[in-house]
Amino acid sequence: MLLPNILLTGTPGVRKTTLGKELASRSGLKYINVGDLAREGQLYDGYDEEYDCPILDEDRVVDELENQMSEGGVIVDYHGCDFFPERWFHIVFVLKTDNSILYKRLENRGYNEKKLKDNVQCEIFQVLHEEALASYKEEIVHQLPSNKPEDLEDNINQILKWIEQWVKDHSS
């Protein structure tokens, strides 16, 4: 059976991972967190002193994911999206969170002041939404609110309906 590939993207702290894991367990699709994948495989290309984090080796990440993506049925979670091949994804969801809520979530993660400010600004200017629109066909890019627990449930139900419809449309 053909299954779709889904990209969950958005600023750190918008709850991509919470949505992705829950979605995977309810849909049977495979969940891949690119940050975890990079950590496990050491898919890095240096270290960013300013942000105090390793720099992702995007080419190696793409190589690592290629086979799984061509099989289909994968949910990919990452805060960047412009380096993935366009052909990989059937739909892209950009999660969006109110700045005050986002600030608290990132503060709880222990982000330093610069990282906090830059990520909240990233959200204000909708940087990830713009990046998604520049990288994929506009009709497959959708924004979803991610502020309260009910949003999570609504988003899961909406995406599950979409998966069901996609499978129907592609099963002939």
For the chain, the domains span 6-166
- What are the angstrom distances between the C-alpha of 22 and each of 26, 88, 155, 156, 157? 6, 21, 11, 8, 11
9 is in an annotated binding site: no
**Does residue 172 carry a pLDDT above 80?**
no
* Alpha helix stretches (DSSP H) within the chain: 16-27, 34-41, 58-71, 99-108, 113-124, 127-135, 149-169
Report the SS3 class of residue 99. helix
137 is in an annotated binding site: no
User: Which position has the token pair 């412009």?
Assistant: 82
Rounded distance, CA 166 to CA 56, Å?
Answer: 32
User: Which position has the token pair 């919470």?
Assistant: 18
| Range 60-83 average pLDDT | 98
96 is in an annotated binding site: no
Rounded distance, CA 144 to CA 125, Å?
Answer: 16
**Does residue 1 carry a pLDDT above 90?**
no
110 is in an annotated binding site: no
Q: Is 73 within 8 Å of 31 (Cβ atoms)?
A: no
18 is in an annotated binding site: yes
Q: How would residue 81 be classed by pLDDT, with cut points 50, 70 and 90?
A: very high
The per-residue pLDDT for range 140-167, each reduced to its tens digit, is: 999 999 999 999 999 999 999 999 999 9
The per-residue pLDDT for range 93-145, each reduced to its tens digit, is: 999 999 999 999 999 999 999 999 999 999 999 999 999 999 999 999 999 99
Beta bridge partners of 77: 8, 33
Q: Is 167 within 8 Å of 4 (Cβ atoms)?
A: yes
| Beta-carbon contacts of residue 90 (< 8 Å; ≥ 6 apart) | 4, 5, 6, 140, 166
CATH top-level class for 6-166? alpha beta
**Does residue 74 carry a pLDDT above 90?**
yes
17 is in an annotated binding site: yes
User: Tokens standing for 147?
Assistant: 């502020």
Spatial strand order in the sheet of 91-96: 30-33, 74-77, 6-9, 91-96, 141-145
Query: If you average pLDDT over every residue of the chain, what do you get?
Result: 97
